[in-house]
Amino acid sequence: MRFVTLGVLLLSTACCTAPVAGSTPEPPAPQSPDGGVASGLHLDLNGIKQPKAEAPAAPVAPRTDHPYKPDHMFPLSADVELGTVEPLADIIDAQVAQGFRVVMLDINTDGGDVSAGMDFIRRMDNVRARGVKVVCVVHKALSMGAYILESACDERVAIDGALLMFHHSHGNGKLDGNADDLEDKAAELRVIDTALATRVLRRIKISKKEYYERIHRRDWYLSTVEALAIGAIDRVIPDGTGLPPIAELQ
C-alpha cells in the first residue's frame, strides 16, 4: 500500500512539472562554483549597481559682483526687538557662509530696545571682522535704528528724504520706587547714553559737547542735508532709482 501511494505521488509530480506544448521552457537553475545547484538564499551581487560615492563639496567662491536685487537686501523694518533682529542676524550669517562679501541692510525703523540693538551691533561687528562689508540703505532710522546705522554699517546710503533721529535712552515701562531707586535707574540710563554716544561720535563730525546739547531734553531729528553735512551718512541717492551694482559699492 505504501509503494502504490508513493508511485502515484511521483507520477502526479512528474505530470504537473512537465512542460506544456508551445510554452517557453524554464531556464536551468544557476550553478554554484562547485558545480551544484545554487541555493536561492545566495544573492548575485555582481549585477547590482552600487551607489557612487559623493564627491566632496567644492569651496564656495566669494561673491562680490552680483547686481543689486531685492533678495540681496535684508530689511530692518520692524521695531528693534530680539524677536526681529536676532533672526535677521542669523540670516545674514547664513548668507556670509555662502560666500557673500557685501551685505545690504535696508533700515526703515522707529527704533526699539537698546539691549536688542546692541546685540545686533555686536553680531554685525563679527560679520565685519570676517572681511564682509555692510552697506546700509536708510529710509528712516529713528532712535535705536539711528545708532545701528552709525555703529553697524561701513557705508551709509540715504534715500533722498530719509529721516534720522537721536535722543537719550529711556526706561522701559513705568518707573516705580523711591528716590534712591529712581536715581539708580537714572545712573543706568546715563551709562547706556555714554556707550551709544561713544559709537556715534566715531562717525559724526561734531564734538561730544555739541552732541549732548542737541539731544538734551528733546529728540534730535536730522534731514538728509544735515545728516550729510555732519557725516551721519555717506551719500544720498534719489528715491526710486535703485542701487548700482554691489561691485561699485565696495
In this structure, what CATH number is given to the domain that contains residue 238? 3.90.226.10
pLDDT of res. 116: 94
Q: How far is CA 235 from the centre of its chain?
A: 27
Strand partners, 103: 134
Here the cell at position 63 is 561673491
Alpha carbon separation from 11 to 1, 16, 21, 234 (Å, rounded): 16, 9, 19, 103
Kindly state whether residue 46 falls inside one of the protein's structural domains.
no
Kindly state whether residue 193 falls inside one of the protein's structural domains.
yes
β-bridge pairing 73-76 and 235-237: unpaired
Kindly state whether residue 188 falls inside one of the protein's structural domains.
yes
Kindly state whether residue 47 falls inside one of the protein's structural domains.
no
Kindly state whether residue 235 falls inside one of the protein's structural domains.
yes
Here the cell at position 161 is 528724504
Here the cell at position 62 is 566669494
Kindly state whether residue 101 falls inside one of the protein's structural domains.
yes
pLDDT of res. 169: 86
Kindly state whether residue 38 falls inside one of the protein's structural domains.
no
Check if the beta carbon of residue 249 is closer than 8 Å to that of residue 66.
no
pLDDT of res. 101: 87
Query: Which residues in the chain show pLDDT less than 50?
Result: 1-20, 32-52, 59-71, 245-250
Kindly state whether residue 5 falls inside one of the protein's structural domains.
no
Check if the beta carbon of residue 192 is closer than 8 Å to that of residue 172.
no
CA dihedral 108, 221, 121, 200 (to 10 degrees): 150
Cα 107 from Cα 136, distance rounded (Å)? 7
pLDDT of res. 106: 92
pLDDT of res. 179: 86
pLDDT of res. 72: 62
Residue 137 parent element (H or E): strand 133-142
pLDDT of res. 27: 53
CA dihedral 142, 147, 153, 155 (to 10 degrees): 60
Range of the domain at 144: 70-249
Check if the beta carbon of residue 107 is closer than 8 Å to that of residue 138.
yes
Number of domains into which the chain is organized: 1
